[in-house]
Amino acid sequence: MGKYLAAALMLLAAASPTAPPTAREQLATLRQQAKSANQSGDRQAYLQTVLRIQALLHDSPAAVEATARAYAAIGDSANALHALNTFADQGQTDDRLLNPSESTFAALHNLPEYKSILDHLARNNTPVSRATEAFLLPDPNLVAEDITYDPQSKSFLITSILQKKIIRVTLDGRATNFAQSPDHWPMLAIKADPARNLLWATEVALDGFTAAPRPDWGRSAILSFNLKTGELLNRIEGPARSALGDLAITREGTPIVSDNLNGSIYKLVAKHLDPINTTDFISPQTPAMLPDGEHAFVPDYLRGIGILNLKDGKVIWLNQNGKTALSGIDGLYLAKGSILITQNGTTPERVIRLQLDSTLTQVVSEDVIERATATLGDPTHGVIVGGYFYYIANSGWSELDAHGDVNPGSKLTPAHIMRFAL
């Protein structure tokens, strides 16, 4: 759901005049400054602002490419090439750059370095497929969002955006209904807690979505169900104008919930959502608990991967040395000393594994599991079961418009659940 929320969050209110600006507010201000500088023709001011955006977004590919274009606009070929090399090293591509009529970098077209970059960009878009199909979801109209696993019943539980329910799916792909959204809203996050016989999930009345009742737009809630029977046990309403889109469970059974729209992280205490961090994230996605039980990886759709201290709310950011694209992440999962991530906000979309150093604070290497294949279509979430990583490869989000309706001429297809041996 990252693409929808990354666009929607920019429509929220501007900064408070008294509180220090949040990351969301900083980005909104910088984007407005960049727009004004560009419109006035002040290329140096535009460049400096774009560089500040790149720093705020921790060298996200989109920010790096924007910087390359800003350097080219002032005739700084050396720095433009350096930024484009970084963009290519991050595994990205852009059809505009591969178009022979591309004009922004016209002064570079005959340089060997530029031609080498174009070759690199083209290679980045070649298909990679190292996973195998585990099963197909039988109903193409689900738009599957999140997936978890129940070891007791040896089955998966999967949320549906359009049909607003949870289904249970056996290892051979047989699906049955598990529970319906109590408010008839799209269902998003899901995590099983088999030790406590609980299933946690979220329902979100996505703003502007046809699938949600109009009077409820902007509301969301976290739910708990009996893992065996599907009985609804608790419903906790989220903050006003929120999108509780992702969650994790601590070893004590406490849900940690991301508000993708307002940039906040909460923990559930009794029947209240207490904020852990409301300032550092722009659009936080799926948290993943670290082995110490006191920290969590939190991927931000625009800023990269934060390492959040659950006690004091402080954040440090995973170091990727400018070589790995860490934006556009929807799902993130820890597997010993590596993390598995699904990226539907990169070009091309990808599923990758990142090896980390012993401190779990720096990326050491990158391993592509799947990219640029016919299987992928906005990959969303996954789950580790035994020695395998299962993930939703084609959720169906790519076929929907901003209102959650199927685009004219598009057709929903059954979702592929892929499996990769770790």
User: What would the pLDDT profile of 221-231 be if each residue is shown by its tens digit?
Assistant: 999 999 999 99
Domain endpoint, select from 94, 124, 154: 124
CA angle 122, 128, 134 (to 5 degrees): 155
Q: Is the pLDDT of residue 334 over 80?
A: yes
183 and 101: one domain? no
- Judge if 318 and 347 occupy the same domain: yes
- Beta-carbon contacts of 320 under 8 Å, excluding residues fewer than 6 positions away, are 58, 59, 304, 326, 362, 363
Within this chain, do residues 150 and 73 fall inside the same structural domain, yes or no? no
Residue 53 in 3-state DSSP? helix
- pLDDT at residue 375, rounded to an integer: 87
pLDDT above 80 (res 18): no
Specify the CATH number for the domain of residue 417: 2.120.10.30
Q: Kindly report the average pLDDT of the chain as a whole number.
A: 95
Tokens at residue 203, please?
A: 């329902």
Same domain, 139 and 91: no
The answer on 293 and 234 residing in a single domain is yes
Q: Does the structure show a pLDDT above 50 at 13? A: no
Q: Is the pLDDT of residue 14 over 70?
A: no
| Residue 80: CATH number of its domain | 1.25.40
Q: Give the predicted TM-score (pTM) of the model.
A: 0.93
In this structure, the answer to whether residues 260 and 294 fall within a common structural domain is yes
Q: Which domain holds residue 110?
A: 2-124
Pair (115, 156) in one structural domain: no
In this structure, are 246 and 304 located in the same domain? yes
Residues 294, 145 within the same domain: yes
Please give the pLDDT value at position 8. Answer: 56
Q: What is the pLDDT of residues 125-181, one digit of tens each?
A: 999 999 999 999 989 999 999 999 999 999 999 999 999 999 999 999 999 999 999
* Pair (198, 271) in one structural domain: yes
Distance CA(166)–CA(47), nearest Å, equals: 47
CA distance 353 to 369: 7
Is the pLDDT confidence value at 1 over 70?
Answer: no
Q: How confident is the model at residue 16 (pLDDT cuts 50, 70, 90)?
A: very low
Q: Which residues face 352 on adjacent strands?
A: 341, 368
Kind and range of the H or E run holding 168: strand 165-170
For residue range 136-146, what is the model confidence (pLDDT) as tens digits? 998 999 999 99
Domain boundary among 124, 152, 172: 124
Q: Are residues 156 and 43 both part of a single domain?
A: no
pLDDT tens-digit series, residues 259-280: 999 999 999 999 999 999 999 9
Q: Is the pLDDT of residue 6 over 60?
A: no
- What is the structure's pLDDT at 274? 97
pLDDT of residue 89: 97
Overall number of domains in the chain: 2
pLDDT at residue 256, rounded to an integer = 98
The closest alpha carbon to 244, from 255, 234, 259, belongs to 259
> Does 39 lie in the same domain as 153?
no
**How far apart are the two ends of the chain, measured CA to CA in Å?**
25
Question: Given 124, 152, 176, which residue is the final one in a domain?
Answer: 124
